[in-house]
Structure 1
Amino acid sequence: MTAKKSLDRPGWWMDLPDSAESRHYLGVRDSIAAHIQSGDLAPNACLPSERQLQTGTGAARGTVRAALFQLEAEGLIYRKERSGWYVSPAPIVYDPTRWEGFMSYVTAQKRSPRTELLSAREVAATAEQAVVFGVKPGAILYELRRRRHIDERAVLVESILVDPRMAPKLLDHDLEGSLTQVLRHQYNIDVARNRIEMQPCALTQEAALALRVKSGLPGLLVTRISEDAQGRVVEYDQEYWRHDALKISVDIHVR
């Protein structure tokens, strides 16, 4: 999806009301949000510079920044390093009750997924990880760190642990696609159960660096333990999502 450089009607920010109310950061926030919600500003459209917004609203620079930070916290806009502010695209819809890999459910929603392998190595299991896998602390596990994109925007960074006893020489395979497919076709492993926990979080410095955002921004931590039909742990996955990139949706039929 190609990002628009600006609104089709140049200088729209000059129409923002110049009043005592508009010069308060919530007034600036409301004016920009209205243009987004009306469709005047399309997904991935670049917002005017802070100086242009100052000119259009008559607000102080600090007020404009406060409004932009508020919109970012609400998931309506996002920042690109040394590029500016952009309108957030629609979040991807995720149903935790269905077992479907990232590549599949993103593609099904007519979006473009991409996985980038950041590192693949052997690590020693911590005490917590040892309990998950039923091994002794210090036992060798495979660790994959991957960054995942939707329409070329980085939306999550994940750390996946796999027991080498389940998938020996896993690191020799192509791990930038679907790990589910690699485990299924190369090791005859299918997931029969997923235990998923989700909680709001502040992005850690490591996760923020990988997503090219500031640490401390709001995010969503998704922790997944996947088991096969015999109850053996196949994957232990921790995903740090951008808070504006994911929408949880569950359809429950009550009998």
Structure 2
Amino acid sequence: MNLDFILANEIKYIITEKQLKEGDCLPSERELCAIFNVQRLTIRSALHLLEEEGLIYSKPKSGYYVNKPRVVIDAKNIASLTNELFSMSNNVLTTLISFEKTEVGKPLISFLKLPIGTAVYQIRRLRIVDEEPVCVNMSYIPAARCPNLEEYDLEKNSLYKILDEEYQIQLKKSEQYVDVIYPELEIFSLLKLKNWEKIIYQYGSVFDEEDNLVDYSKSYMKPNRFMYVS
């Protein structure tokens, strides 16, 4: 293992040992060089690895600081994104961008695997944590499975909780895929990105106990606020 990777793990230990929180400053490069008895170039390489991981961020002529905590998502687990966001902070808001009833057309048929013309709800939501937009989510729900879904408040309630409690739909299996992409202009604007950088793109389907489609969703996430495990 390269020395910069080893040092990156050691700096993680310092963050944990000193119980550094979001916004706390790390020891300076000079101090880290003295602690580990290495050259500044090696320390900078280790710090850059932690920046790429989203654990820390830098301020010019100031130093390195602990970043905001990230949501850890298990790609194999069926879970409400709302609940996972609350693991990050108690200050979580959902803004409903749009809710409309549409029909399956050619662009969607390969994903939804439903006959052309099937009625589906298209739901677009923006997730905000600590006043920062972190995720844009789009869901396609077969309308026949949950009539009058538009009557429920999707800004204050979890979609999956509504499906479970109001429509008795039990989620059983999830097929999810994760990629890293450059966002379209609308997503760039909604997430208030400062630089044209790649973001996390998760897409896939959730099925009930009889393997019927319940939800096909696409999520666009800030990479510094989410981490995936499998």
TM-score scaled by structure 2? 0.69
Counterpart in 2 of 1:99?
Answer: 78
Q: Against the structure 1 CA distance between its residues 173 and 90, is the aligned structure 2 distance closer, same or farther, given a 3 Å change threshold?
A: same
Higher strand share: 2
Letter in 2 for 1:245: R
Instruction: Quote the RMSD (CA, aligned, Å).
Output: 3.1
Identity of aligned pairs, percent? 21
Alignment pair present for 1:142 and 2:121: yes
2: distance between equivalents of 1:235 and 1:185? 16
1:205 CA displacement: 1.0
Counterpart in 2 of 1:20?
Answer: none
Letter in 2 for 1:198: V
Q: Against the structure 1 CA distance between its residues 89 and 139, is the aligned structure 2 distance closer, same or farther, given a 3 Å change threshold?
A: same
1: distance between equivalents of 2:98 and 2:218? 15
1:90 aligned to 62, 66, 69, which one? 69
TM-score scaled by structure 1? 0.63
Alignment pair present for 1:152 and 2:139: no
Q: What per-residue deviation string (whole Å, max 9, x for no partner) do you get for residues 193-220 of structure 1?
A: 0000001111221111111125732100
Q: Against the structure 1 CA distance between its residues 153 and 126, is the aligned structure 2 distance closer, same or farther, given a 3 Å change threshold?
A: same
Counterpart in 1 of 2:96?
Answer: 117
Q: Where in structure 1 are there 5+ consecutive unaligned residues?
A: 1-33, 46-69, 79-85, 251-255
Counterpart in 1 of 2:42?
Answer: none
Q: Is the 8 A contact 1:121 1:143 kept in 2?
A: yes
Aligned residue pairs, count:
186
Q: Is the 8 A contact 2:119 2:144 kept in 1?
A: no
Q: Where in structure 2 are there 5+ consecutive unaligned residues?
A: 1-10, 25-48, 59-64
Q: Is the 8 A contact 2:123 2:140 kept in 1?
A: yes
Letter in 2 for 1:168: P
Q: What per-residue deviation string (whole Å, max 9, x for no partner) do you get for residues 130-180 of structure 1?
A: 233333334332111001122332111011110101111111211112000
1: distance between equivalents of 2:23 and 2:145? 42
Q: What per-residue deviation string (whole Å, max 9, x for no partner) do you get for residues 222-243 of structure 1?
A: 0120000111110000000001
1:246 CA displacement: 0.6
Q: 4+ residue runs of structure 1 moved beyond 4 angstroms?
A: 70-74
Higher RCO, Cα 8 Å, sep 6+: 2
1:117 CA displacement: 1.0
Q: Is the 8 A contact 1:119 1:144 kept in 2?
A: yes
2: distance between equivalents of 1:217 and 1:103? 25
1:166 aligned to 113, 134, 145, which one? 145
Counterpart in 2 of 1:216?
Answer: 196
2:108 aligned to 129, 133, 141, which one? 129
1:181 aligned to 142, 161, 168, which one? 161
Alignment pair present for 1:199 and 2:179: yes
Counterpart in 2 of 1:52?
Answer: none
